[in-house]
Structure 1
Amino acid sequence: MGAASRLLVLRSLLLLPGAFGFVPSLDSDFTFTLSAGRKECFFQPMRQGASLEVEYQVLDGAGLDVDFYLESPKGEILVFHQRKSDGVHTVETEDGDYMFCFDNTFSTISEKVIFFELILDNMGEEEQEDWKKYIIGTDLLDMKLEDILESINSVKARLSKSLQIQTLLRAFEARDRNIQESNFDRVNFWSMVNLGVMVVVSAVQVYMLKSLFEDKRKSRT
């Protein structure tokens, strides 16, 4: 096998999902609408010694608040927050399904738009075959496979972090936009109310002044 063929084998192995411990990211995010008087629960399977981080934000809805709780596979309540607009919670996990719920039963009218993100760390990797058996004559290569793997994993970690930050920034932007639109509608409403009150008061004042002058004229006659 020539040097060109060995490099082709190396490139194809690095592109295989899960090859050399290069596993796809397990992080995920989701945006949903929670109706008034409803509760929604989600489940995430975890393994012993891993880490589960849940971050949520209420993007839209009256009050921008929701009840949140996180339950362990044994049924223990690990986190419970009432009427919060956002939160970040990290727990060390054990084997089993973790349940986290968003509760809007306290609201009878307003629905809520909720964004949440799951960040899973130390989930482990399945045992991989020894990749060195696919390489023949590695002493002829000018680069180390370990260095290539380290560089790929470093780029992957930075890209995942960038994607996470961009997702959070979009969530913050959506929430701020909804707050601004709500404030804009509120300012317009009260401005119209004030304008109506001013018109009514002006009309009453004109009528009273007119009546006052008419009474004086009648008294003189």
Structure 2
Amino acid sequence: MLARLLSLSCLLTYVAATALTFTLQPNEKSCFYIFNQNQRANIGYYFAVQAGGSFDVDYTIKAPGGRILANEQKQRQGDYIFTADLIGEYEFCFSNEMSTFAEKVVDFEIKDNDEFKASLPNAPAENTAVEGMQASALRIEEKLGQLSNTLQYYKTRNNRNQSTVKSTESRIFWFSVFDVVLMCSMAAFQVLVVKFFFQGSRRQLV
């Protein structure tokens, strides 16, 4: 069972789930941890910025001992698998320190890809039926993983499209308000100019 430690603004809380959605405030950094118990284990992680700003965050992955495995800037999403060579605690940190006012909503999932395979019973020698069942179970698990990733991708695209639509609607509204104010101002200015012109003409005639 995976255990992760969530750190938000120096506040530590244990999280039992392997997938979550969290909010990164401006100038904030959040870190998650997974303890790897096996050498050469395959650890997979997925994240996607659902809303906020330009839909990007900085993230860093560190191995036990502080060695940096990945350090990416302004990424919108990621879906990767890496090999954990060492036994110990791996750190995943997301940073929104580049943003001064926009908060980010991030979906994050991490899992040990070897966990499901390790739970399968070993097939007895020359037992092709059990081997076939194991192979089928692994293929089903792989297809379910692909389906989950596809659903997460469509969820991300839907959220980003909704955010873009709302942003466009807001811009159109305020542009329309500005346009109306500008036209009213121009009309008032033209009326004042014409009034001033005729007032000056009448004085000259008198």
Pick the TM interval, shorter chain.
0.7 to 0.9
- Which 5+ residue runs of structure 1 have no aligned equivalent? 1-26, 133-137
Structure-2 residue corresponding to 1:100: 92
Ranked by relative contact order (alpha carbons within 8 Å, sequence separation 6 or more), the top structure is: 1
Question: Bigger CA drift: 52-61 or 93-102?
Answer: 52-61
The whole-number CA distance in structure 2 between the counterparts of 1:105 and 1:156 is 37
Match of 2:58 among 50, 67, 76: 67
The whole-number CA distance in structure 1 between the counterparts of 2:177 and 2:23 is 31
CA contact (8 A) 2:58 2:72 kept: yes
Structure-2 residue corresponding to 1:170: 155
Aligned pairs for 1:15-164 (under 5 A) are: 28-46=18-36, 47-94=38-85, 95-118=87-110, 120-123=112-115, 125=118, 128=121, 144-164=129-149
Residue 44 of structure 2 aligns to a residue whose secondary structure is strand
The whole-number CA distance in structure 2 between the counterparts of 1:129 and 1:69 is 37
Q: Which residue identity is paired with 1:59? A: Q
Give the TM-score normalised by the residue count of structure 2: 0.76
RMSD: 2.8
Match of 1:210 among 195, 201, 204: 195
Higher relative helix content: 1
- C-alpha change, 1:126 and 1:152, in structure 2 (3 Å) is closer
The whole-number CA distance in structure 1 between the counterparts of 2:53 and 2:33 is 27
Q: Percent identity among equivalent residues?
A: 25
CA contact (8 A) 2:123 2:130 kept: no
- Which 5+ residue runs of structure 2 have no aligned equivalent? 1-16
- C-alpha change, 1:65 and 1:152, in structure 2 (3 Å) is closer
